[in-house]
Amino acid sequence: MSAVLAEMPETATPATTKAIAPSKGGRPWTFYVLATLFAFYVIALYGPMFCIYVLSFQDIRGGLVFPMKGYSLHWFVDLFTQVRTGDVKGSFDRSIKLAVIVTIITVVVSFLAGLGFRRRFRGDTFVFYMMIGSLVAPGLVLGLGTGLLFQAFGLNASWYTSALGAQLSWTLPFGVLVMFAVMSRFNHAWEEAAYDLGASRWQSIRLVMIPVLAPGLVAVALFGFTLSYDEFARSLQTAGSLNTLPLEIWSMTLNVTSPSLYALGTVTTVVSFVVIGASLGSIVLIQKKRGSRAKG
């Protein structure tokens, strides 16, 4: 989604060249078949999620399946007040903090790496494949290795040290890949022009590159936040004694059989949607501002 997100407004080709011929008039039969497939896909994608959101609003008699038994916010209250469901509030708090830290580091490090990878340098392929390796390695194995490593050095595993690092090994490859896509659409003439006008390297980065690349950087931030906020496999062996939210959900799936599990699902999805909405919204806003400035 990286490249497409970053190039969103630039891909606008005239709509008429879009369709497979004929570009006007009747649709071929394949259109209807594929449209049906697409509709089924979207329903299967959102349908189940929608079910648990609805089921989380049952009252105290509620169970894990339909039909709905009453309507209330009982399970949401239950979620944040009951001790038996675990430390939801604390883990929620930790996950948000961790995601913010991961986001900041991911944006900065990916941006710098993106600048570095613009030109070939000796060993760049090695670094690139190290990154791909970090992306495809089984998360649980990496997490265990990180945990053992901390143990070997006599360090305590905790969410803000070992889990932070383990999550970065997951978010950074995504961030850098998004930067690749973003950078490839950056016109180097702008940077050259900045240098010609006497800008220092830092000035050209701060005054030219960052503003031009802003939508791409927002996309990197979106990846950083959401991937960290939902990260599970790599955190399992590295989070130490205090859980992050996905770990809390995991332990709930194993021992909680009440709709409070669904309520937690609803709450965390709302947070995800707010973050996604804010990111996509700000990308659109930046582009719009830019468009009106270019016209005016």
Partner 1 sequence: MQPSPSLIPSRSNLAGWLYVSPLVLVLVPFFVAPILVVLAASFFATDGFGGLTPGFTLASYVEVLHSALTLKLYLATIKFTALTWVLTLIIGFFVAYFLVFHVRNQLLAIGLFLLCTVPFWTSNIIRMISWIPLLGKEGLINQALLAMGVIHQPLEVLLFSDLAVVIAYVHQLTIFMIVPIFNSMARIDKKLIEAAIDAGASRFDIMRLIVVPMSKSGIALGTIFVVSIVMGDFFVVKVMSGGGSASVVSAFYEDVGVLQYPTAAASAVLLTLVLVAIVSVILRTVDIRQEIAR
- Provide the minimum distance between the beta carbon of 159 and partner 1 in the complex, in angstroms, as a whole number: 14
Q: For the residues of 236-261, what is the DSSP string, one character each? A: HTTSTTSPPHHHHHHHHHHH--STHH
Question: Which residues in the 267-296 window bind partner 1 by CB under 8 A?
Answer: 268-269, 272-273, 275-276, 280
Q: What is the dihedral of CA 147, 109, 99, 256, to 10 degrees?
A: -40
Question: Measured from the CB of residue 83, what is the shortest distance to partner 1 in angstroms?
Answer: 22
Our finding on whether 221 is near partner 1 (CB under 8 A) is no
CA atoms of 243 and 229, how far apart (whole Å): 12
Tokens found for residue 61: 């008699």
Residue 212 is a binding residue for partner 1 (CB under 8 A): no
One residue of 88, 98, 157, 183 binding partner 1 per CB under 8 A: 183
Q: In Å, how far are 39, 85, 116, 131, 180 from 175, measured between CA atoms?
A: 31, 34, 14, 11, 9
In the bound state with partner 1, the residue whose beta carbon lies nearer, of 63 and 211, is 63
Q: Are 74 and 83 in contact (CB under 8 A)?
A: no
Are 109 and 172 a contacting pair, CB within 8 Å? yes
Among 79, 177, 217, 220, binds partner 1 (CB under 8 A): 177
- To partner 1, the closest distance from the beta carbon of 141 in angstroms equals 4
Indicate left, alpha or beta for 41 from its phi (over 0: left) and psi (-120 to 50: alpha).
alpha
- Per-residue binding letters, 19-48, with partner 1 (x by CB under 8 A): xxx-x---xx-xx--xx-xx--xx-xxxxx
- Does position 181 bind partner 1 by CB under 8 A? yes
Determine phi and psi for 212, rounding to 5 degrees: -65, -40
Binding residues among 130-159 for partner 1 as defined by CB under 8 A? 130-146, 148-149, 152
Of 92, 83, 84, nearest to 243 (Cα)?
92
Residue 260 as a binder of partner 1 (CB under 8 A): the answer is: no
Per-position x/- string for 87-126, each x denoting binding to partner 1 as judged by CB under 8 A, each - no binding: ------------------x--xxx-xx-xxxxxxxxxxx-
Query: Locate tokens 């143990």: which residue?
Result: 151
11 is an interface residue for partner 1 by CB under 8 A: yes
Count of residues that interact with partner 1, criterion CB under 8 A: 110
> Taking CB under 8 A as the rule, does residue 250 contact partner 1?
yes
